[in-house]
Amino acid sequence: MKKNYYIVLLFLLIVLLGLTQQSVYASDEDDAYIRSNTEYLYDPETNEYLPIQNIETEISVISDQNGHDYEFERLFEEKRVSNKEFAASSPKYTIDTAYQYPVTWDCEEWKNFNNVIEKREACYVSPELLRNMTTLALVETVVKYPLLVDIFAFDTIEMGIDWVSDYFVGIDELFSREDAIECLLEYSAVICEDDEYSDFYKSSIEIIVKVLDGRGNEDNNVPSFRYTNSYVYTPNGSQVQARYGYTWSDWGMTSGDAMTAHNAVKSAYPNAVEITNANPSYNCHSYAWHQQSSLNNYWISDPSAYMTDGSYSASTPVAGRKITYKQNGILKHSGVVEVVGPTTDTTYVTSKWSWYGLFYHKVNDCPYYVTAQNISYWKLN
């Protein structure tokens, strides 16, 4: 019987050793579960921490049945390590270099992409890799993400961050780090001035820091509003709320910062043809539904009245008609159809990208495209 007892104890120790790699490389979710529900045994020979989990209970049951091996139990207690000790000795972030994107704006391959879906796939970074980066490595990975420009293509930076985070989790991961602002400023200070896009990287960092600093403290992130609330009207006379006279001050940036970002978005979408420069006064909905002119001074956040009061009805794609892009049923973007082809790769639209400029582009080569199912066409009744 005593022999069987030692065999069982030996088996349990082997099980412990087999769990070593699992404990070291566990995901964040598994790691949090393990750390909150168990203690560890320290193995000085391998310098590893082995999760005890339920084995202590099993040893106790065996001891009760077969008698205690006090020497084994003493060694067991000596090697026990608390959760706090384990957390302090186990490195959380093991990757200290930024991700090197295989395709970037300067590559010929990037310029040959047909649509934004191909671009998102080319610069995909796995969530597991991002979670295991040190914050400084994560900062560089986020700042140099080729589609970071998309965060500025919406009504607010927060909306843009939410959109981009659907296919790149690096921003959310960065925002969860306590030392995010510190590392953003540290990285900004060492960006090479010879880098063609250094100004964009620095201005992006400045805006991201403002967003981080403003979360939970709204007084830190209040721009100087100069616009006035106003209205425009649908063809059937319905009132549509608008803002008149947006300036760069309302966006919390200078015209120089805006031009830096505008030039960057042209690099990210090299096949989109720039029609006008960056302009803070009007947006995509105002251009598509209200006035197709660079003299437009109205910003419309919700153009749904045009589609619900009988002014327009759903249709097929025809040049001159309106196009809308939705995500999860929420209207995100509007434009005007210019050329209709048999596919989204051969159908072209003119649209204003938030405060970026006005662009002529493929239906599926812009920040707002998800699938063909998320777009609709509208004709004037």
Q: What are the tens digits of pLDDT across the range 265-309?
A: 999 999 999 999 999 999 999 999 999 998 999 999 999 999 999
327 and 269, same domain (yes or no) = yes
Burial category of 377 from C-beta neighbours within 10 Å (exposed 0-12, middle 13-18, buried 19 and up): middle
Residue with tokens 């063909």: 372
Instruction: Print the domain residue range for 235.
Output: 228-246+265-380
- Share the mean pLDDT of the chain: 83
123 and 75, same domain (yes or no) = no
Domain finish residue from 188, 221, 254: 221
pLDDT, position 243: 94
Q: How far is CA 299 from the centre of its chain?
A: 26
Tens digits of pLDDT across the chain (381 residues):
545 545 444 444 444 444 433 333 333 333 333 334 445 555 555 555 555 555 556 566 666 666 666 666 666 666 555 544 554 555 678 899 999 999 999 999 999 999 999 999 999 999 999 999 999 999 999 999 999 999 999 998 899 999 999 999 999 999 999 999 999 999 999 998 888 899 999 999 999 998 998 765 544 444 456 789 999 999 999 999 999 999 998 888 889 999 999 999 999 999 999 999 999 999 999 999 999 998 999 999 999 999 999 999 999 999 999 999 998 889 999 999 999 999 999 999 999 999 999 999 999 999 999 999 999 999 999
Q: How many structural domains is the chain composed of?
A: 3
Domain finish residue from 89, 118, 144: 89
The span from the CA of 103 to the CA of 302, in Å, is 36
The span from the CA of 333 to the CA of 375, in Å, is 9
DSSP character for 225?
-
315 and 235, same domain (yes or no) = yes
The closest alpha carbon to 197, from 154, 157, 146, belongs to 146
The closest alpha carbon to 327, from 270, 279, 371, belongs to 371
119 and 145, same domain (yes or no) = yes
Furthest C-alpha separation in the chain: 93
pLDDT digits (tens, 9 = 90+) for 35-49: 344 455 555 555 555
20 and 134, same domain (yes or no) = no
Whole-angstrom CA distances from 105 to 13, 268, 270 are 53, 6, 8
112 and 63, same domain (yes or no) = no
Tokens of 64: 């009760």
63 and 195, same domain (yes or no) = no
- Whether pTM > 0.85 for this model: the answer is no
Could you give phi then psi for residue 331, rounded to 5 degrees?
A: -70, 125
